[in-house]
């Protein structure tokens, strides 16, 4: 038997702009993503077997432990691509990243499986792993690399950006999860586009749509922010879904400098803290990290 344990970081979207549609019905995005020190852990055991077999288990009752799980799909893709046979892959998922929260919990676990199996079998180089991540879905490439990343396309076209350490806090309605499919569908169903007054234009390493008011570690005074047209929304998907969910409206009203990450329903705040209150999951005291999935 061979075993390995992989640490899989969550990500937040410091901004998210939808730029168009791609073939296959996907939306094209531009987003600056950042990995943070909130982790799932995968324990991967590999045994000799009379056939290929993938078995999942874990500590969460909110995710499936079958072939619909991205972890299962990643393990199967690795075995098939590497032409590995007669192995039993047992994966235990320690889930700490909330589900359907906009923090790439499934994607980081999928990237972690590819990375972990490759540490055992040594079949591919890092570029090959990047290609496998792109086949599986959005955000896996970001989670494989980690740090601050400019992501385009579906999220698989990535450019590393200069890393800055900063403090981050999270809040999420406990009984509200929003799938990416739901958020993008609601964006498509809007009869208008995000008004200019709700869009931001602050360049960062060649990217646009970054809000210094909500991310004070970038600096800038009130006059500079006003000149740049900085307003409330830096995430087009937040604009698309917030009217449908009173819990999100409550967060935004109480914490106007908070920003929704991904498709929600988690909000983050830079250099600030959320109060603990009934009905909401809160995690204060987190930090940005300069790495993606890795062995521990």
For 170-181, write each residue's pLDDT tens digit: 999 999 999 888
At 63-87, the pLDDT tens digits run 999 999 999 999 999 999 999 999 9
Q: What is the pTM of this model?
A: 0.87
Mean pLDDT of the chain: 87
Confidence label for 230 from pLDDT (cuts 50, 70 and 90): very low
Q: Which of 19-28, 134-143, 153-162, 235-244 has the lowest mean pLDDT?
A: 19-28
**Domain-wise residue ranges, the chain:** 2-163, 168-287
| Domain pair 2-163 / 168-287, same fold | no
Residue 36 above 60 pLDDT?
A: yes
Which CATH number is correct for 2-163, 3.40.50.300, 3.40.50.150, 3.40.640.10, 3.30.230.10? 3.30.230.10
Decide which of 194 and 264 is more confident. Answer: 264
Which CATH topology does 168-287 take? Alpha-Beta Plaits (3.30.70)
Catalytic residue list: 11, 139
Confidence label for 35 from pLDDT (cuts 50, 70 and 90): very high
Peptide bond into 265 cis (omega under 30): yes
Q: How much of the chain, in percent, has pLDDT values that exceed 90? A: 73
């Amino acid at each position: 038997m061979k075993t390995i344990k992989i640490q899989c970081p969550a990500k937040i979207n410091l901004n998210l702009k939808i730029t168009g549609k791609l073939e296959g019905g996907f939306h094209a995005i531009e987003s600056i993503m950042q990995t943070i020190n909130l982790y799932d852990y995968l324990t991967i055991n590999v045994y000799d077997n009379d056939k290929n077999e993938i078995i999942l288990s874990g500590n969460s009752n909110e995710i499936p432990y079958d072939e619909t799980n991205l972890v299962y799909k990643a393990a199967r893709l690795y075995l098939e691509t590497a032409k590995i046979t007669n192995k039993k892959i047992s994966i235990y998922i320690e889930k700490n990243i909330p589900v359907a929260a906009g923090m790439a919990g499934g994607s980081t676990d999928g990237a972690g499986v590819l990375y972990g199996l490759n540490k055992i079998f040594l079949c591919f180089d890092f570029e090959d792993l990047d290609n496998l991540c792109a086949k599986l879905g959005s955000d896996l490439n970001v989670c494989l690399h980690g740090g601050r990343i400019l992501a385009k396309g579906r999220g698989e076209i990535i450019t590393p950006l200069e890393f800055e350490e900063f403090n981050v806090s999270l809040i999420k309605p406990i009984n509200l999860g929003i799938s990416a499919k739901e958020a993008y569908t609601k964006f498509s169903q809007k009869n208008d586009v995000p008004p200019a007054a709700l869009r931001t234009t602050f360049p960062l390493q060649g990217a646009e749509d970054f809000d210094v008011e909500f991310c004070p570690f970038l600096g800038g005074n009130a006059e500079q922010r006003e000149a740049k047209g900085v307003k409330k929304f830096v995430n087009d998907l937040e604009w698309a879904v917030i009217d449908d969910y009173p819990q999100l409206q409550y967060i935004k009203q109480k914490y106007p400098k908070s920003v929704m990450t991904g498709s929600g329903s988690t909000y983050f705040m830079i250099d600030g803290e959320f109060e603990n209150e009934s009905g909401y999951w809160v995690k204060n005291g987190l930090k940005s990290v300069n790495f993606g999935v890795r062995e521990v």
